[in-house]
Structure 1
Amino acid sequence: MRIWALAALYCVASLVHFAHNAEYIAVYPNMPAWLTRENVYVAWLAVTGVGFIAAALSFAGWRTAAALCLVAYGGLGFGGLGHYALALCSEHTFAMNFTIWFEVVAGAILAVSAAWFIKPSRPFVA
């Protein structure tokens, strides 16, 4: 059950970051002109869909597949670091940096925690 609390925390963190990004898209440094508020929300729905797939897999009893999806879902949180490819950390406001790092850290915790539940079907052979 704790893994689902971490998934919920990551969901909130990603929503906070994506919503901030969407609502302040005009002031995020060096964002591509084609990226709109609506595109950002659609992207959040796509990311969150991975979490819903994990929940469905878990409900169906496919624990390893669900854990793999949660690892992927949490890993998507690292996408927020792409902001720093466009502009330095110092060019972002405190709120921008906070939401980016909130998502990254929550995603990393979820991914690592979910990886713990992945059970190999056969022993690892080197």
Structure 2
Amino acid sequence: MTRPNHRLLFLLLACYAAASLVHFVHNAEFLGDYPGLPASWSRAGVYLAWIGMTALGGVGALLVYRGRETIGLILLAVYAVLGLDSLGHYVVAPLSAHSSMMNTTILLEVGAAALVLLEVTRYAGRSRILR
């Protein structure tokens, strides 16, 4: 049996990384405007969080590319779930308390993360990992 094609997975990962970057940049640059965020958060901390999160996704993608699919897909699933965590903005403040740009960047990241998580699951099901 041949391995599934990586193309769609890597395309979705690139879209998610870009959407995540847009959200994190907006969050870092307008940190004081985001409702309900802890005062202890800093601009640099937001950028460092994005770098760490994206590095995890990068390692996962590299492992999948190199044939270490099980651990790679696990890391990619964790990476995607971290993007879904942006819904936490709506736990600390309702959607209506956020600007339209805030909502756009949050939902863009969450949507892209959800697509990655779905593709990781589909990919795992089509490969020998879940069989």
TM-score by length of 2: 0.87
| Higher helix content, 1 or 2 | 2
| 1:10 is aligned to 2:16 | yes
| 1:107 is aligned to 2:110 | no
What whole-Å deviation, never above 9, does each CA across 1:46-72 have from its counterpart, x for those lacking one? 110111111221233112322222222
Residue number among 44, 48, 72 corresponding to 1:42 in the alignment: 48
For 1:57, the equivalent position in structure 2 comes to 63
Runs of 4+ in structure 1 displaced over 2 angstroms? 119-123
Residue number among 62, 66, 78 corresponding to 2:72 in the alignment: 66
Distance between the aligned counterparts of 2:87 and 2:17, measured in 1?
17
Q: Which runs of 5+ in 1 are unaligned?
A: none
For 2:25, the equivalent position in structure 1 comes to 19
* Cα root mean square deviation, aligned: 1.5
Percent identity, aligned pairs only? 38
Q: Which runs of 5+ in 2 are unaligned?
A: 1-6
TM-score by length of 1: 0.90
Displacement of 1:110 in angstroms is 0.4
| 1:75 is aligned to 2:93 | no
What whole-Å deviation, never above 9, does each CA across 1:28-57 have from its counterpart, x for those lacking one? 112111001001000001110111111221
Distance between the aligned counterparts of 2:94 and 2:130, measured in 1?
45
Distance between the aligned counterparts of 2:31 and 2:63, measured in 1?
34
